[in-house]
């Protein structure tokens, strides 16, 4: 797939999804603000294309004093997640603000999920495999093949498979698989 076609697809699909999810996004915004102190949007430092740090928005699903580490690394991670946070994470509604990062070109709809700025092991493995050259995605091949349930080396191996196979049709296939998995909350452990 050419870079121009992928970028055009990202923009068009993001605008369509933004319109479809406008009302749910407003409702999530209100629910987050009403049920815990702090802003509705959390801006997370993430590793983007060529290992450049960018700020990625998500609806806040954790309390404001939670350490900035991967959820599975938190001690008693359930105590850090807000009541609304559990729901928006399970339904992936917390991801809606990332449409902004797609529109600005920092992310793509399909690609490796952006690592946290402090996930050095994941960043190092992706760099070793050349995956760091890809624009990170809202969803990806690793997301639809295990998400939170697979190890970092397995995620990177799946990211490398995506890098080799990426095409317009493969992206559409991943988007379809993502929709299916989100509907049944498959692979979400936190």
Instruction: Kindly state the tokens that stand for 146.
Output: 């295990």
Q: Using an 8 Å Cβ cutoff, are 82 and 36 in contact?
A: yes
**What are φ and ψ of residue 171, in 5° steps?**
-60, -45
Q: How far apart are CA 166 and CA 17, in angstroms?
A: 22
Strands laid side by side in the 53-59 sheet: 53-59, 41-47, 115-116
Per-residue model confidence as pLDDT tens digits over 18-36: 999 999 999 999 999 999 9
Per-residue model confidence as pLDDT tens digits over 152-186: 999 999 999 999 999 999 999 999 999 888 877 65
3-state helix/strand/coil string of 26-57: HHHHHHHHHHCCCCCEEEEEEECHHHCEEEEE
Q: How many helices (H) and strands (E) does the chain have?
A: 7, 5
Task: Please give the share of the chain, as a percent, with pLDDT higher than 90.
Answer: 75
HSE, side-chain direction, 13 A CA sphere, residue 70: 17
- pLDDT for 123 beyond 90: yes
| Cα dihedral value 132, 62, 59, 183, nearest 10 | 80
Please report the pLDDT score of residue 49 as a whole number.
97
Instruction: Supply the pTM of this predicted model.
Output: 0.87
**Average confidence (pLDDT) over 135-154:** 92
Per-residue model confidence as pLDDT tens digits over 87-99: 999 899 999 999 9
Question: What's the sign of the alpha-carbon dihedral 47, 132, 4, 98?
Answer: negative
Predicted confidence band at 55 (pLDDT cuts at 50, 70, 90)? very high
């Amino acid at each position: 797939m050419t870079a121009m076609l992928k970028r055009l697809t990202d923009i068009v699909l993001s605008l369509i999804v933004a319109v479809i999810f406008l009302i749910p996004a407003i409702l999530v915004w209100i629910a987050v603000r009403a049920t815990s102190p702090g802003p509705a949007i959390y801006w997370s430092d993430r590793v983007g294309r060529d290992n450049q740090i960018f700020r990625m928005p998500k609806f806040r699903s954790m309390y404001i004093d939670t350490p900035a580490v991967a959820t599975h690394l938190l001690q008693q991670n359930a105590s850090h997640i807000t009541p609304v946070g559990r729901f928006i994470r399970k339904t992936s509604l917390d991801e809606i603000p990332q449409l902004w990062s797609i529109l600005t070109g920092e992310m793509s709809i399909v690609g490796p999920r952006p690592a946290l700025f402090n996930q050095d092991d994941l960043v190092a493995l992706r760099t070793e495999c050349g995956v760091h050259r890809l624009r990170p995605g809202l969803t990806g091949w690793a997301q639809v093949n295990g998400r939170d349930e697979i190890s970092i080396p397995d995620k990177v191996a799946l990211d490398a498979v995506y890098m080799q196979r990426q095409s317009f049709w493969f992206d559409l296939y991943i988007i379809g698989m993502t929709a299916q998995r989100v509907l049944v909350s498959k692979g979400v452990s936190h």
